[in-house]
Structure 1
């Protein structure tokens, strides 16, 4: 221990770097329920970029630019608990007790109110502090569903009163929310919620947050300044020692880097990923890099500093935020950069507009285009996207859109690709062709929120396509039912016609599609008659489905207690990262039913349409 203390002190003194205030970091204010007279308004938080845009989605999820109410009023007068109790002089206790007001809990802070997308200041009502902590911890991350991800984001950013009761651990509720935003890849949201660091909270995530931002935007100068300060304050921290290794080698201070690395090996010897990256940064051209280490943001920054290319293998399990940063690594080939960009867009870490920009900027040699168009790679997706955006003739454009549609569905990028095409789909006039291309355009338009375009194309199929057009229109009937729910009776004739179009499918698959269609229709407010469900009760179609009983049972308890935020969190956990696309109908029904009970009908319709678009129906 004495040897370690001497080496640590020697290294810290050897740094010789000044302490520099982190003045370049944004310092947005966080609002709390009842906070009085904040000195500035919070910066704008963009809504979740690739949430399925429908007319039923909440109109505005930007933070309110309004001052919160004043919580500085005196405590109300209270009666003594025992009016018969006498003081030493034989007098009764006074009727008024004066108590010191407690400071607001910083964990109540947020960026969204009930008026602009938040779930309300009382969203944790009827939930204990321990239950709230559990609910925040079990929410999935990352999340593939745009609608579920946006719902989780709104929960995490809501200004809300802290639930009562003892904590279940040492981590604050604010830190749990920031950590979850980081796991979702919503770095800007996490930074605005967690900056400036609340003086009363000691959670490590608040110290890590500014460093994470600097590393992801490849600002190693600022990161090294912050690291020098951190190492002076906590010389034994392995995190700061790792950064010191990077900063020393990057500055060609080989001796200083070697010293920091030797100190680090005494407490961090198992991190072979970091050791390989450090060797590459030191100048070892033969260093074999097989991972980004257990700190991928730092690993990515080291790889960039060493001017080494990224590979698909290195990004296999990367977080959404790291994927978004990796897409900007100029040392990597185009396929790797595009694949990283697609993965980040799939998880919502970059917007559909950014995906469109990446596709359009991809330089693909003319000699490779014909062969590349037959493939299924990220470069193929970029090529097809460029062609769909460039073509203006009806039949050629429809064919190009169908190719984009088919490849995006196969590669799990359908909704975000459709939203990247939104400008091209807006008011797109229907072509004269009656073929699969029309179905592709309708589906793309619905996913992009262009319901009017979808309705126009379907009506054209019905009015001008004859028997073939009517047959094609049947395939999108459930989607149009969810996009434009009927206000009157159940459309029994259309239901029977659509059901008959599935006759060639196996009974189990027909049952799955029927059940999902009815679940989503009911959730969207369509009056489904009991007979429609009863007709499915046969062994071949009913099948055997069961959801996660733990989440399901706790969700029922939370709903019975009218615990809003907890119910939403448990519903998100029930469906998981990709539940709308892969979960069974029973779990989807449970989640959508819970949201309806919580009077969140706009969210229900949004999620129902997304579920229908994300899977065969």
Structure 2
């Protein structure tokens, strides 16, 4: 169907009127003390550069060892450089204050949007070296392009504590950025993007707390806004509006679409109903189709609940709109929610308890919330008599355990709950939530399956002494299986992490016996042997002979030789940040479960070289937990 000229003319007239009225109502205003800074770099998905990109901070000291480039990358220039992709340095505008309100300057009338500028990516971080950071010089000697290429490849969220901890510290350390030529990507943006993908919206909010003048590009400003929207903090999210594009086509520019929606929400939150509705009309005129957005906004501004399709996914902006409109989240909200929402959903008292518990289980599994928070939700839940869903069964288990006083009966209940865990992530999550209860039950050696559950759970919680006591009780009762020996090997790593050298002769003998079992038992033993060797322990030559005589190393996914070579070079040169980045990048999206044991050994060895000894032991422990089903799946 062809649009008639008259209809097109009327549409153009309506659009012109909408733009004129909206411009009159939405006055862009900021205190003059907050001068607009040119963004640090263009947002990766945008084609139009917004300003200068400072590739090397002026105060960064020279690197005596020279610039390093990963094998597959060509080396670039190392001097301080400002690139103006548009061809020349733009004249910085002297912007007046921006305030979403029909009465400019009336501070009580709306939400003031502050300018964020001045502090560069080199100085922003939560963790100094004394606070667990990787050091202010962690990127010294690393080529910037390599960091820009590898950071987006990091998996998120992560369910192994060793990798999660390393990634958290890598992304939140206060450090000068890597030097050298750039592909045009902001390191701050890349860090924020991975933090949000991992669900660390709370960390992003803390990153910006008290920092009103942070230089960033539009993509970083969007992520900052989303971090606050993930907590329902619309007012603080609106402070990012000044760095988002205005007037661009929302159909061709996702940032412009986000900016338009956020503007409408900010206007509605400020009580400016007319302005919010005009912004929505403008979005419709420009062809932006989002029935759920319009429905939620109408409920917020006018109390109207318009029909709208169920969401296909639940991101921060949509979540904040649900909260602002006072509309209940859909029943499947947790399965639709991005990781950045999980912690807030768990803690938000107005939400359905079932949603809170399901979100809490996911948040604890991804190390986004503390186990005791989920335990409190379990304890306060009102459950049906018939618990059909897994979360209901776990909540019922916790409530029953809280009322049970007989240790033997408690042990049986705990074992049954752990046995019902369908995945290793579920097992780890439940073991952490039940940690205080598990630690209170005296060791019992009568049942090797029950005992295995307890030993594995105690290992997950790094309760070395109690795990050893359970293993001793099982041994005294005459139980000796390859699976219990696998658990003993994990306790060995906990012992080594404390700086106490394990009995290597006994370890070599046990590993040799397990290698002779073949199959999965041999595969786990081979992985353990290579990890112990990477940690610097000298095992018996007879063990290596037995391993070689019994066949090749177990199969596994092997990263490309360039990455392995780069990891070795970075760790040998002491480039800590690059070593951690490559260690995290090596497993790819598949994780460490199916990674080749030699690649795991390389990762552990590299961490040792850059002084991350405890982290190397924790990674080795997680690698064994990932490969072994001991204490989780009963032996066949």
TM bucket, shorter chain = 0.7 to 0.9
- Name the residue aligned to 2:293: 274
494, 497, 519: which one aligns with 2:510: 494
- Name the residue aligned to 1:551: 563
**CA distance in structure 1 between the aligned counterparts of 2:623 and 2:247, rounded to whole angstroms:** 51
- Contact between 1:280 and 1:287, CA under 8 Å: does it hold in 2? no
Q: Could you report, residue by residue, the CA deviation over 1:412-467 in whole angstroms, capped at 9, with x for unpaired residues?
A: 2222332223322335422363342221111111111211111111112222x1x2
**CA distance in structure 1 between the aligned counterparts of 2:170 and 2:243, rounded to whole angstroms:** 35
- Name the residue aligned to 1:161: 176
Secondary structure in structure 2 of the residue aligned to 1:379: helix
Question: Aligned Cα RMSD in Å?
Answer: 3.9
Closer, same or farther: CA 278–9 of 1 in aligned 2, 3 Å? same
Q: Note if 1:283 corresponds to 2:283.
A: no
Comparing 209-218 with 537-546, greater Cα deviation is found at: 537-546
- Contact between 1:479 and 1:612, CA under 8 Å: does it hold in 2? yes
Comparing 121-130 with 558-567, greater Cα deviation is found at: 558-567
Cα distance, 1:602 vs. partner? 0.8
441, 444, 450: which one aligns with 1:431: 444
Q: Could you report, residue by residue, the CA deviation over 1:264-283 in whole angstroms, capped at 9, with x for unpaired residues?
A: 13446255653565466663
Closer, same or farther: CA 188–443 of 1 in aligned 2, 3 Å? same
- Name the residue aligned to 2:528: 517
Cα distance, 1:135 vs. partner? 3.2
- Name the residue aligned to 1:594: 606
Secondary structure in structure 1 of the residue aligned to 2:335: coil
Comparing 154-163 with 280-289, greater Cα deviation is found at: 280-289
Closer, same or farther: CA 516–170 of 1 in aligned 2, 3 Å? closer
Unaligned runs of 5+ in 2: 1-11, 35-56, 63-117, 249-255, 630-636
Aligned length: 526
- Name the residue aligned to 2:18: 7
Cα distance, 1:112 vs. partner? 2.5
Q: Note if 1:301 corresponds to 2:312.
A: no
Secondary structure in structure 1 of the residue aligned to 2:600: helix
Q: Note if 1:345 corresponds to 2:369.
A: no
- Contact between 2:125 and 2:175, CA under 8 Å: does it hold in 1? yes
Cα distance, 1:259 vs. partner? 2.3
- Name the residue aligned to 1:393: 406
- Name the residue aligned to 1:123: 138
353, 375, 379: which one aligns with 1:360: 379
Q: Could you report, residue by residue, the CA deviation over 1:336-389 in whole angstroms, capped at 9, with x for unpaired residues?
A: 332221112222222222222222222224xx1xx42xx561111222233334
- Name the residue aligned to 2:105: none
**CA distance in structure 1 between the aligned counterparts of 2:565 and 2:614, rounded to whole angstroms:** 25
- Contact between 2:575 and 2:610, CA under 8 Å: does it hold in 1? no
Q: Note if 1:186 corresponds to 2:181.
A: no
- Name the residue aligned to 1:140: 155
Q: TM-score, normalising length from structure 2? A: 0.72
1:455-604 aligned at under 5 Å gives the runs: 455-463=468-476, 465=477, 467-468=478-479, 473-474=484-485, 476-485=487-496, 486-491=501-506, 492-499=508-515, 503=517, 507-537=518-548, 542-549=553-560, 551-576=563-588, 579-604=591-616
**CA distance in structure 1 between the aligned counterparts of 2:407 and 2:515, rounded to whole angstroms:** 32
Q: Note if 1:211 corresponds to 2:225.
A: yes
**CA distance in structure 2 between the aligned counterparts of 1:287 and 1:72, rounded to whole angstroms:** 52
Cα distance, 1:136 vs. partner? 2.7
1:28-43 aligned at under 5 Å gives the runs: none
Cα distance, 1:177 vs. partner? 2.3
- Name the residue aligned to 2:67: none
Closer, same or farther: CA 386–601 of 1 in aligned 2, 3 Å? same
- Contact between 2:512 and 2:546, CA under 8 Å: does it hold in 1? no
- Contact between 1:323 and 1:343, CA under 8 Å: does it hold in 2? yes
Closer, same or farther: CA 149–120 of 1 in aligned 2, 3 Å? same
**CA distance in structure 2 between the aligned counterparts of 1:150 and 1:136, rounded to whole angstroms:** 16
- Contact between 1:277 and 1:303, CA under 8 Å: does it hold in 2? yes
Q: Could you report, residue by residue, the CA deviation over 1:450-499 in whole angstroms, capped at 9, with x for unpaired residues?
A: 11111111112222x1x236787435222222222444533233334445
392, 412, 415: which one aligns with 2:425: 412
- Contact between 1:474 and 1:497, CA under 8 Å: does it hold in 2? no
Cα distance, 1:572 vs. partner? 0.2
Cα distance, 1:127 vs. partner? 1.1
**CA distance in structure 1 between the aligned counterparts of 2:599 and 2:342, rounded to whole angstroms:** 30
- Contact between 2:119 and 2:215, CA under 8 Å: does it hold in 1? no
Comparing 203-212 with 389-398, greater Cα deviation is found at: 203-212
- Contact between 2:297 and 2:321, CA under 8 Å: does it hold in 1? yes
Closer, same or farther: CA 451–604 of 1 in aligned 2, 3 Å? same
98, 103, 113: which one aligns with 2:128: 113
**CA distance in structure 1 between the aligned counterparts of 2:452 and 2:436, rounded to whole angstroms:** 18
Q: TM-score, normalising length from structure 1? A: 0.74
- Contact between 2:139 and 2:578, CA under 8 Å: does it hold in 1? yes
- Name the residue aligned to 2:104: none
Structure with the bigger RCO (C-alpha within 8 Å, sep 6+) is 1
Secondary structure in structure 2 of the residue aligned to 1:580: coil
- Name the residue aligned to 1:202: 216
